[in-house]
């Protein structure tokens, strides 16, 4: 597994992650991109535990996602199956596991203060932390997509599933967007990536 991880996470993090994965009943699989999640954890019917992480993540997001999922495994082992998926037990476990990685040998200096702030109270996904999510995205491969906050008011855009929307007003944090076909109103995070359509 250590050789596989070298292709996906910062080199200085490989040994630390390998130590976290030294469990006979835990396996990690690298999956093709899934639009709805970066990774997941589950206990399999045979009692084994499996973590999956998307192959398309940049090294820093991959590392955060992997440790996020390891925290689910550790929280399950230490507190049992009746805890909330992203409750206090998971949060404390994630904070504890992530602490050794928060150093300039692993993360760029511009990410460290954002990560420190995020890990005071980690959320179910780092995508809801708009500032951190945008900072992480600068390390992604270019994909020709536009962020919702860059879509001009009244312009149309398309999602990965082909649905077309028209951008509306900004609320406190999110943007109102109307699905063109149905007229239904949806709220989008400002850092959602979409395909801008010609008006």
Cβ pair 60, 136 in contact under 8 A = yes
| pLDDT score at 88 | 96
Does residue 76 share a domain with residue 169? no
| pLDDT score at 95 | 97
Q: 3-class SS at 155?
A: coil
| pLDDT score at 150 | 87
Does residue 91 share a domain with residue 14? yes
Angle at 95 between CA 140 and CA 19, to 5 degrees: 80
Does residue 43 share a domain with residue 132? yes
Does residue 98 share a domain with residue 71? yes
Does residue 161 share a domain with residue 94? no
| pLDDT score at 1 | 64
Residues (pLDDT < 50) of the chain are none
The CATH number assigned to the domain holding 170 equals 2.30.30.30
Does residue 157 share a domain with residue 67? no
| pLDDT score at 21 | 94
- Looking at the DSSP bridge assignments, the partners of residue 27 are 50
Does residue 126 share a domain with residue 36? yes
Cβ pair 135, 129 in contact under 8 A = no
| pLDDT score at 199 | 62
Cβ pair 63, 45 in contact under 8 A = no
What pLDDT digit, counting tens, does each position of 141-155 carry?
877 788 898 899 999
To the nearest 10 degrees (0 to 180), the angle between helices 130-137 and 59-79 is: 130
Does residue 121 share a domain with residue 63? yes
> Model-level pTM greater than 0.85?
no
Does residue 152 share a domain with residue 128? no
Does residue 131 share a domain with residue 156? no
Does residue 59 share a domain with residue 115? yes
Residue 117, φ and ψ in degrees, nearest 5: -65, -45
Cα 138 to Cα 165: distance, rounded to the nearest angstrom: 25
Unique residue bearing structure tokens 């535990």? 49
Cα 79 to Cα 77: distance, rounded to the nearest angstrom: 6
Q: Which domain holds residue 131?
A: 2-137
Last residue within a domain, chosen from 87, 104, 137? 137
Does residue 152 share a domain with residue 129? no
What pLDDT digit, counting tens, does each position of 32-67 carry?
887 778 999 999 999 999 999 999 999 999 999 999
| Strands 175-179 and 185-188, sheet pairing | antiparallel
């Amino acid at each position: 597994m250590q050789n596989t991880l070298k292709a996906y996470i910062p080199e200085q993090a490989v040994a630390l992650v390998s130590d976290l994965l030294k469990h006979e009943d835990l396996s990690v699989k690298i999956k093709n991109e899934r639009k709805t999640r970066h990774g997941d954890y589950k206990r399999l019917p045979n009692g084994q535990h499996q973590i999956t992480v998307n192959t398309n993540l940049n090294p820093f997001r991959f590392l955060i996602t992997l440790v996020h999922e390891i925290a689910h495994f550790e929280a399950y082992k230490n507190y049992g199956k009746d805890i909330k998926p992203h409750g206090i037990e998971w949060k404390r476990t994630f904070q504890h596991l992530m602490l050794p990685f928060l150093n300039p040998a692993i993360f760029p200096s511009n990410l460290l203060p954002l990560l420190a702030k995020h890990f005071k109270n980690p959320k179910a996904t780092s995508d809801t932390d708009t500032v951190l999510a945008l900072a992480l995205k600068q390390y992604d491969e270019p994909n020709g997509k536009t962020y919702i906050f860059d879509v001009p008011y009244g312009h149309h855009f398309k999602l990965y599933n082909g649905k077309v929307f028209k951008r509306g007003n900004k609320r406190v944090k999110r943007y109102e967007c109307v699905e063109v076909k149905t007229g239904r109103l949806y709220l989008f995070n400002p850092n959602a990536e979409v395909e801008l359509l010609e008006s």
